[in-house]
Amino acid sequence: MFLPDPLIILELGLLGIGIGFIAGLLGIGGGMLMVPFLMYMLGQLGTPEDITLKMAIATAMSTIVFTSISSVRAHHKMQAVRWDLVKGLVPGIVLGSLISSFGVFSVLKGSTLGYFFEAFVFFSATQLFINKKPKPSRQMPETAGMMLAGSSIGFMSGLVGAGGGFISVPFMVWCNISIRNAVATSAALGFPIALANALGYIASGSTFQGRPEGSLGFIWIPGMVLIAMCSVLTAPIGVKVAHTLPVKQFSRIFAFFLYALSIYMFYQTLTKT
């Protein structure tokens, strides 16, 4: 496997350590947080500007395949995963993910995808910050509603490189699923989301020119491997913290970080178009 220079290896390792912890704590894949850092690294390797964001999103998503396994095992040991909800949402998730990553993702221009990504990060920050309480009578939908919800989660995740937690956790909490069960179940949903999207990114990116050495479709394999190796070590630590400390305060701090990230990414996209 082709390896980048030692400084980028160190950066990827540190990124994986931080992302793994956050993934376990909040039930997210952490893909959106990786994207700006991966864009910088891919730019250092001379990746064409129009596909840099696409490769960053695809690489970030592919790491969630591994992070989610580590995270969900820890949540399952604490009997927090609602496997009945996983079973109901997965068919729609796979369908939405493949439509997004294999079709829409490859034809969008880099700047258009950039604006969509930034808007989604801003929306996700708002969801974390508001923490709005649902109506007591609201419940998870039936089969058709679960299919629609799963498709929406998978489709949106494929466009922004997220494991779906920023959509699935607020959705489940909105349906009166406890926050700890929602976080744990979201971690379990991260695997089919990431796997389906990764396959789509490989197929849709195979014909693009200028990809860095060691790429498979839109996925930068060295980045994926190094981040995944480190993130699986810290995801269980994040899970333990999530089950022992109140997450609400951390979520709001994290929301402010996402607001800043969204504004920074918007500025970068605006100045390059």
Each residue's pLDDT expressed in tens, for the chain with a length of 273 residues: 566 678 888 889 999 898 888 777 766 656 777 888 898 889 888 888 888 988 998 998 898 888 788 778 888 888 889 999 999 999 999 999 888 888 777 777 767 777 777 787 787 778 767 766 656 667 888 889 999 999 988 888 887 777 677 778 778 888 888 878 888 898 889 889 889 989 999 988 888 888 888 899 999 999 999 998 998 888 788 878 777 766 666 667 667 767 877 787 677 667 665
Side chain identity at 99, as an amino acid letter?
I
Q: How confident is the model at residue 217, as a pLDDT?
A: 93
Any residues with CB less than 8 A from the CB of 227 and at least 6 apart, and which? 12, 13, 15, 16, 19, 34, 59, 63
| C-alpha–C-alpha distance, residues 270 and 273, integer Å | 6
Question: Using CB atoms within 10 A of its CB, is residue 185 exposed (0-12), middle (13-18) or buried (19+)?
Answer: buried
Question: And the tokens for 268?
Answer: 């970068």
Instruction: Count CB atoms within 10 A of the CB of residue 255.
Output: 18
Quick one: DSSP state of residue 26?
H
Q: Answer yes or no: is 157 within a domain.
A: yes
Q: How confident is the model at residue 202, as a pLDDT?
A: 92
What is the value of pTM for the model shown? 0.77
Domain carrying residue 51: 6-271
Number of domains in the chain: 1
Q: How confident is the model at residue 55, as a pLDDT?
A: 92
Q: How confident is the model at residue 59, as a pLDDT?
A: 93
Q: How confident is the model at residue 131, as a pLDDT?
A: 65
CB 222 within 8 A of CB 2: yes
Q: Answer yes or no: is 180 within a domain.
A: yes
Q: How confident is the model at residue 82, as a pLDDT?
A: 94
Q: Answer yes or no: is 238 within a domain.
A: yes
Q: Answer yes or no: is 1 within a domain.
A: no
